[in-house]
Amino acid sequence: MTILLINNNPIVSRLFALCAKEDRLVIDEFSDVASITKDYYDIVFVDETSSLPNVVSYLGKLELKHKVIISYQNNSVVGFDETIKKPFLPRQIMKIIEVYQKQVPTKSIDTPILNHKEIDRIKELLLMDEAKEEHSDSADDIALLEATIKAHVLGMKPKKIKNFLKGKPIKIIIQQQEAKHE
């Protein structure tokens, strides 16, 4: 589920962070609409302290399923499906999310973990590996392949490595080099 929070209020940010932490939700938070990069969200929450006219016009350009405004007024606001009255509790946010999850199947978005260059490089390595298997499996070839993969992985950002390995079994081998005595 993709959730967008447009907000300038640090208290609202903390309440949403609590919700995200408890239920492992990913919430994209922006203080202004100019920073938003995606064009699809299942639910958008907008704090009334944001520049509301700009936000409402921008939200019309996005593909959104459910729009919620967070306001001191309990009145419905044009362009929004629901209103949360301030002050509010995290469970009110979670209730909206849970109700929405039951009503609407979420849209699957294929967000690549690796960029195209990295994918092409991995394909090259795999093809190189297949070619080497056909010819020989010498220790030198395997060492070269391992060094190439290691160099590529070390060039990746830690967050990409974490996302790439998420949910996969990981085996860590620590080798200690012996000191050379001369």
Using CA atoms, how far apart are residues 6 and 93, in angstroms rounded to an integer? 14
- pLDDT at 153 > cutoff 80: no
Give 3-14 pLDDT, tens digit per residue. 888 888 888 888
pLDDT at 25: 74
Q: What is the mean pLDDT of residues 142-160?
A: 76
pLDDT at 64: 77
At the topology level of CATH, where does 3-103 sit? Rossmann fold (3.40.50)
Query: Which pair of tokens denotes residue 76?
Result: 């419905």
| Domain span(s) for CATH 3.40.50.2300 in the chain | 3-103
Give 65-103 pLDDT, tens digit per residue. 788 888 888 777 777 888 888 888 888 888 888 888 777
pLDDT band at 180; cut points 50, 70, 90 = low
Q: What is the mean pLDDT of residues 140-148?
A: 75
- pLDDT at 55 > cutoff 70: yes
pLDDT over 90 for what percent of the chain? 0
Give 23-45 pLDDT, tens digit per residue. 667 788 888 887 888 878 888 89
C-alpha to C-alpha distances, 38 to 7, 14, 152, 165, nearest whole angstrom: 17, 23, 28, 24
Three-state helix/strand/coil letters over the chain: CCEEEECCCHHHHHHHHHHHHHHCCCEEEECCHHHCCCCEEEEEEEECCCCHHHHHHHHCCCEEEEEEEEECCCCCCCCCCEEEECCCCHHHHHHHHHHHHHHCCCCCCCCCCCCHHHHHHHHHHHHHHHHHHHHCCCHHHHHHHHHHHHHHHHCCCHHHHHHHHCCCCCCCCCCCCCCCCC
| Spatial contact of 33 and 10, defined as CB atoms under 8 Å apart | no
